[in-house]
Amino acid sequence: MSKPSTELVTLAVIGCGQRGKSYSIYSLSNPERCKVVAIAEPRPKTQTQFADLFKVDKTLVFDTWQDLHAASAETINTVGKRLADAVIIAVQDEMHTEVAIAFAKQGYHILCEKPMATSLEDCIEMEKAVKEAGIIFGMGHVLRYSPYHQEIDKIIRSGELGELVNVVHVEPIGYFHFAHSYVRGNWSSEKKSSFSLMTKSCHDLDIICHWFAPLVPIRVSSFGSLHHFRKSAKPKEAGNATQCLDCPIERECPYSAKKIYLESLMHGNRGWPVSPLVDGIPDIENVTDALRNGPYGKCVYESANDVCDHQVVNLEFANGATASFTMVAYTSLICERQTRWHFTHGEIVGDMTSFTITDFKRPEMPERRSPRLDGGGHGGGDMGLIEGFVEAVRTGKQEILGTDVSEVLRSHITVFAAEASRKEGRVVSVAEFEKAAREGC
């Protein structure tokens, strides 16, 4: 399924929201490398805006992924050709498996937004489908692809600081980001989506595993809970108010929907977190309506959320090396991860923008580096991923992405094992956990 290195890679985008657009925007600045030729998006205004931006022919604009899939089946049967070379899957998490398997069977290369799937059984089924199809597979583990983390990776692989013994990694989600996405938003319910360690931080555990590779985690433990965003924490002064716009102490609440959305819009922000509330371009009228009649205007203490707002994970690797990860909602920083890497002969301390290297052989001469931050989200990781995916499809070389579907599955297994530890109150053997999961499929 390889393509000549000079051939244009064509993309079909399934889900034209924030993540679908984040990856697709690469095609506008690199028209000689790739082009969006088909889309599937149910929201009318979002669909029209996306189609206009990427100049997608009207005959290749679909309301659902099933419509796109059916049209593709027809062209495969009649002319022996798919509608595009690859699909970008950016629909809701619980839909990933069904969509990915369907398009893998048609021979499409796949870039799937994180997480792989919301159940371990579905992750295993997706791995099987990708392997059987023999396609290029990219995963939205964007941290791997930022200039910052790629430079860190080079230092680790070089051995210049000795052996990596311990990593301390923190993801500060951000107080209003958590309220938006994990209390009021699409990832607030484990039943409707998945647990927050998976939906928010699976790429953090993935990159921790990557730093220690080819070693793999052998044991994992985890602790965490939904601590604050529940009815018992609601201020008494709020009374019976269930909507922020009706609350007598709205001005005093850090999680006020009026502050997070309306006031942000009034200051000129029409992007995230305002844009997900409406179909099309947000204005005062339709955002106010969304707050009145939808989940984003609901009191965070009256919402139906049930996912953890803080969690720690401890990992032990096959050689005795260790790592700890903390995911926490209560931060002013928004996803600006902080990390310490401890080696036998040195240390690195970083914050996703810059890092300081201390070589114990010359401790009086620490070196500070600030890698070039490419455009796009996650410190350039979004653009790094789509660039690598397009090149992998163009050349037919999975190795360009630095990972494959089996490694992606392994890091997801670690996340599922960590959540099992949290819920069951025990240290989990990752190998035994994986064996049991595969035997149950």
Q: What is the mean pLDDT of the chain?
A: 96
Q: What is residue 3's predicted lDDT score, i.e. its pLDDT?
A: 54
DSSP helix/strand/coil, 154: helix
Does position 412 have pLDDT exceeding 60, yes or no? yes
What's the rounded Cα separation, in Å, for the pair 40 and 26?
18
Does position 187 have pLDDT exceeding 90, yes or no? yes
Output the CA torsion sign for 419, 424, 426, 431.
negative
- The gap from C-alpha 13 to its chain's centroid, in whole angstroms, comes to 16
Q: Tell me the pLDDT tens digit for each residue of 236-266.
A: 999 999 999 999 999 999 999 999 999 999 9
- The gap from C-alpha 173 to its chain's centroid, in whole angstroms, comes to 13
Rounded average pLDDT over 214-242: 97
Listed in order, the ranges of the chain carrying CATH 3.30.360.10 are: 144-229+305-440
CATH architecture of the domain formed by 9-141: 3-Layer(aba) Sandwich (3.40)
Q: How confident is the model at residue 378 (pLDDT cuts 50, 70, 90)?
A: confident
Q: Which residues pair with 39 in a beta bridge?
A: 13, 61
Strand order in the sheet with 109-112: 61-62, 34-40, 9-14, 86-89, 109-112, 137-139
Strand order in the sheet with 310-317: 367-369, 355-359, 346-350, 338-343, 164-172, 322-328, 310-317, 217-225, 428-429
Q: What is residue 371's predicted lDDT score, i.e. its pLDDT?
A: 86
Q: Which residues pair with 105 in a beta bridge?
A: none
* CB burial string 371-385: b at 16+ within 10 A, e below: beebebbbbbbbbbb
**Fold of the domain built from segment(s) 144-229+305-440:** Dihydrodipicolinate Reductase; domain 2 (3.30.360)
Does position 32 have pLDDT exceeding 60, yes or no? yes
Q: What is residue 376's predicted lDDT score, i.e. its pLDDT?
A: 65
Helix (H) or strand (E) holding 192: none
Within 10 A of 57 (CB to CB), how many other CB atoms are there?
Answer: 9
Tokens at residue 402, please? 């630095």
Nearest partner of 354 among 378, 371, 379, judged by Cα: 371
Nearest partner of 312 among 166, 115, 118, 170, judged by Cα: 170
What's the rounded Cα separation, in Å, for the pair 110 and 103?
8
Q: What is residue 379's predicted lDDT score, i.e. its pLDDT?
A: 80
Alpha helices in 248-315 (DSSP H): 257, 264-266, 284-293
Does position 380 have pLDDT exceeding 80, yes or no? yes
Taking CA atoms, 237 is separated from 65, 169, 240, 241, 243, in Å, by 47, 38, 9, 10, 14
Listed in order, the ranges of the chain carrying CATH 3.40.50.720 are: 9-141
* CB burial string 110-141: b at 16+ within 10 A, e below: bbbbbbbbbebebbbbbbebbeebebbbbbbb
Q: Tell me the pLDDT tens digit for each residue of 336-367.
A: 999 999 999 999 999 999 999 999 999 999 99
Q: What is residue 6's predicted lDDT score, i.e. its pLDDT?
A: 57
